[in-house]
């Protein structure tokens, strides 16, 4: 089956032709703004002027004509509205005129599927990094789930904005990579990780401040890369232990960065996980990736009428079905995680555990030591405050070493395992709502409320590993705790929405500032960034 794919979400208009055995040819033209970032109308005009040429060239270089095409796919979204419309109108015109089936494709899915095809990866956890996108994605039961993402701007946008401030035209990432190679001093920048989510706007603000103070551009770029890429590696590694995946797929425009690839290679080796790097030519937006996703959709029975091919600027990958994905979530491995190694011990003849944070070789040594010290100290303080406040946190027995804590062993089952088995889900969501509300009322945020950090022991719900939380949280931190629970439940479709509603009903009835938290939670949903 020969498929023509047309990509036009942002700065690139591209067409590619493939079939089941061969990627024939990809033709692309990229809009280069005279100043600033992408101007949507100007980019759309660029696409309008070039779409006919890229389609013609992709067919000509493939040795085919439009009469040889069996299916047309186009980028339905997410992306810039004016750009998306050019690709959609062009694809519809070709499909109608030549009586060819048409499918609107989710843009991130295209990146993933061309990455899988060109690398041989079969069931990966995906790090998708581009201008407007920073997402960790894993496929289960016919859907690609977003298990971690940026809470503000995409990493590519952050790099491009800083580059503009130092006089580098779009795209700025390659220039920053060049500057960083000559950097020597690691400068202090915000390291913002919440569970598997990240935030990059603070890095941009701090980097611009360092520039005004006269720090070397090379050192600033070096520090930006070391800090931001370490955040990506950490959240990706946490995703590996949460999902049980044994493959990593790296894709998107920022995935071309050699330092990022080096860091992920080191991390994957330590996590006993195989890494697959999408070839450089397919990391950037391209028509062949759209064709590949369209091919899989068609082969798996997905059809769309003309009315269903309307563009969607905020088309999330977890809203697109992927019937070819059959893998299931695996249980977390006891005693080993992204950050720590845990072993059983005794304290005054009581069962205990020793939690030891381990250094990360992918991180700059100075940065790594700072993070380990900070998180161990924060966990000690939060556990102590939690116990004082009557919360179900493990008791701390001893502080053995700057990075080791001896604490109470909680016998029970991870809530994630219970939720996968389907046991008493409504009850536990209601009780979790009460527990989180009590924690927030005590002035504590957790910072990593994933289902593997919640233990059910008898009738009690214990919260463990609050090392990314705060003892002086704002409403944003409270909302982030809730978002992590929502993200986990989102993977269960309508059942997950019902369970989150149960959780929220219980939480809101027990936390006075619920209305403020609700407003921030809704704002988080609105400010998600896509390209």
In the block, residue with structure tokens 């070397």:
216
What backbone phi and psi angles, to 5 degrees, belong to 291?
-65, -40
Q: Residue 198 contacts by C-beta under 8 Å, 6 or more apart in sequence?
A: 134, 148, 149, 150, 151, 155, 192, 231, 232, 235
Q: How many CB atoms lie within 10 A of CB 111?
A: 33
Q: Which of 152, 160, 219, 448 is catalytic?
A: 448
pLDDT for the residue 337: 66
Question: Can you tell me the distance from the alpha carbon of 448 to that of 85, in angstroms, rounded to the nearest whole number?
Answer: 39
Clarify whether 448 is annotated catalytic. Answer: yes
Assess contact for 352 and 260: CB atoms under 8 A.
no
In the block, residue with structure tokens 């924060």:
378
Angle at 189 between CA 359 and CA 204, to 5 degrees: 130
Please name which of 193, 259, 255 lies closest in space to residue 223, comparing C-alpha atoms: 259
pLDDT for the residue 528: 59
Q: How far is CA 398 from the centre of its chain?
A: 36
SS3 for 49-64 is HHHHHHHHHHHHHHCC
DSSP assigned state of 363:
S
Q: Residue 474 contacts by C-beta under 8 Å, 6 or more apart in sequence?
A: none
Assess contact for 341 and 130: CB atoms under 8 A.
no
**Edge to edge, what strands does the sheet with 12-18 contain?**
23-30, 12-18, 3-7, 71-77, 102-106
- All domains of the chain, ordered by start, with CATH? 3-115+283-319 (3.30.420.40), 118-281 (3.30.420.40), 340-408 (3.30.200.20), 413-526 (1.10.510.10)
Q: Is 439 helix (H, G, I), strand (E, B) or coil?
A: helix
Q: Residue 293 contacts by C-beta under 8 Å, 6 or more apart in sequence?
A: 5, 73, 105, 106, 109, 110, 112, 113, 114
Helix (H), strand (E) counts: the chain: 16, 19
Question: Can you tell me the distance from the alpha carbon of 428 to that of 133, in angstroms, rounded to the nearest whole number?
Answer: 33
Which H/E stretch holds residue 6? strand 3-7
What is the sign of the dihedral through the CA atoms of 394, 399, 405 and 407? Answer: negative
Question: Can you tell me the distance from the alpha carbon of 530 to that of 311, in angstroms, rounded to the nearest whole number?
Answer: 14
pLDDT for the residue 331: 59
**Edge to edge, what strands does the sheet with 396-401 contain?**
340-347, 350-357, 404-408, 396-401
DSSP assigned state of 309:
G
What pairing do the DSSP bridges indicate for beta strands 404-408 and 396-401? antiparallel
Give DSSP secondary structure letters for 76-118. Answer: EESS-HHHHHHHHHHHHHHHHHHT--EEEEEHHHHHHHHHHHH
pLDDT for the residue 489: 84
Question: Can you tell me the distance from the alpha carbon of 70 to that of 299, in angstroms, rounded to the nearest whole number?
Answer: 12
Please name which of 162, 232, 229, 237 lies closest in space to residue 197, comparing C-alpha atoms: 232
Question: Can you tell me the distance from the alpha carbon of 251 to that of 112, in angstroms, rounded to the nearest whole number?
Answer: 7
Does 439 sit behind a cis peptide bond, omega within 30 degrees of 0 on the bond before it? no
Partner residues linked to 524 by β-bridges: none
* For the chain, the helix, strand and coil percentages under 3-state DSSP, each to the nearest 5: 50, 20, 30
Longest Cα–Cα distance in the chain = 81
Question: Can you tell me the distance from the alpha carbon of 221 to that of 40, in angstroms, rounded to the nearest whole number?
Answer: 28
**pLDDT averaged per 10 residues, the chain (length 531):** 97 97 97 80 96 98 97 96 97 97 98 98 96 92 92 92 90 94 96 92 97 97 98 94 92 95 95 95 96 98 95 93 87 64 91 93 96 94 95 92 90 87 87 97 94 90 94 95 88 81 97 97 72 38
Question: Can you tell me the distance from the alpha carbon of 17 to that of 4, in angstroms, rounded to the nearest whole number?
Answer: 5
């Amino acid at each position: 089956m020969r498929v023509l794919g047309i990509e036009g979400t942002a700065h690139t208009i591209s067409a590619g032709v493939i079939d089941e055995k061969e990627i024939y040819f990809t033709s692309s033209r990229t809009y280069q703004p005279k100043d600033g970032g992408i101007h949507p109308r100007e980019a759309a005009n660029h696409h309008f002027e070039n779409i006919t040429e890229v389609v013609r060239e992709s067919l000509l270089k493939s040795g085919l004509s439009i009469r040889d095409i069996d299916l047309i796919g186009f980028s339905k979204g997410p992306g810039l509205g004016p750009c998306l419309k050019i690709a959609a109108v062009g694809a519809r015109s070709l499909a109608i005129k030549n009586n060819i089936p048409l499918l609107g494709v989710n843009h991130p899915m295209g990146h993933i599927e061309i990455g899988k095809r060109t690398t041989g990866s079969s069931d990966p956890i995906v790090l998708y990094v581009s201008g407007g996108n920073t997402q960790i994605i894993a496929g289960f039961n016919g859907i690609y789930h977003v298990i971690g993402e940026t809470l503000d701007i995409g990493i590519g946008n952050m790099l491009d904005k800083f580059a503009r401030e130092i006089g580098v035209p779009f795209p700025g990432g390659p220039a920053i990579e060049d500057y960083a190679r000559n950097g020597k001093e690691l400068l202090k920048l915000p390291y913002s990780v919440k569970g598997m989510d990240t935030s990059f706007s603070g890095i941009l603000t701090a980097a611009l401040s360092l520039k005004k103070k006269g720090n070397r551009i090379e050192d600033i770029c070096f520090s930006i890369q070391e800090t931001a890429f370490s955040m990506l590696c950490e959240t990706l590694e946490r995703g590996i232990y949460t999902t049980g995946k044994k493959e990593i797929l790296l894709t998107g425009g920022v995935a071309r960065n050699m330092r990022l690839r080096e860091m992920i290679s080191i991390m994957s080796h330590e996590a006993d996980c195989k890494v697959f790097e999408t070839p450089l030519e397919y990391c950037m937006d391209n028509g062949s990736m759209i064709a590949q996703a369209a091919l899989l959709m068609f082969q798996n029975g997905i059809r769309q009428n003309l009315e269903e091919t309307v563009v969607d600027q905020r088309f999330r990958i977890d809203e697109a079905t992927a019937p070819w994905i059959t893998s299931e979530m695996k249980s977390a491995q006891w005693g080993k995680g992204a950050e720590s190694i845990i072993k059983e011990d005794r304290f005054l003849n009581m069962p205990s555990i020793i939690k030891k944070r381990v250094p990360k070789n992918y991180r700059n040594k100075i940065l790594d030591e700072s993070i380990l010290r900070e998180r161990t100290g924060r966990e000690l303080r939060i556990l102590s405050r939690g116990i004082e406040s009557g919360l179900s946190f493990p008791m701390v027995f001893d502080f053995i070493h700057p990075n080791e804590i001896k604490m109470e062993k909680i016998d029970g089952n991870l809530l994630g395992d219970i939720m996968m088995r389907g046991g008493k889900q409504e009850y536990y969501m209601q009780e979790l709502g009460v527990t989180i509300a009590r924690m927030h009322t005590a002035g504590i945020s957790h910072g990593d409320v994933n289902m593997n950090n919640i233990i059910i022991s008898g009738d009690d719900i214990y919260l463990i590993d609050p090392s990314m939380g705060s003892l002086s949280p704002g409403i944003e931190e409270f909302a982030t705790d809730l978002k992590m629970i929502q993200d986990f439940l989102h993977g269960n479709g309508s059942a997950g929405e019902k369970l989150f509603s149960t959780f929220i009903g219980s939480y809101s009835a027990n936390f006075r500032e619920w209305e403020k938290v609700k407003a921030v939670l809704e704002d988080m949903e609105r400010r998600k960034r896509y390209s």
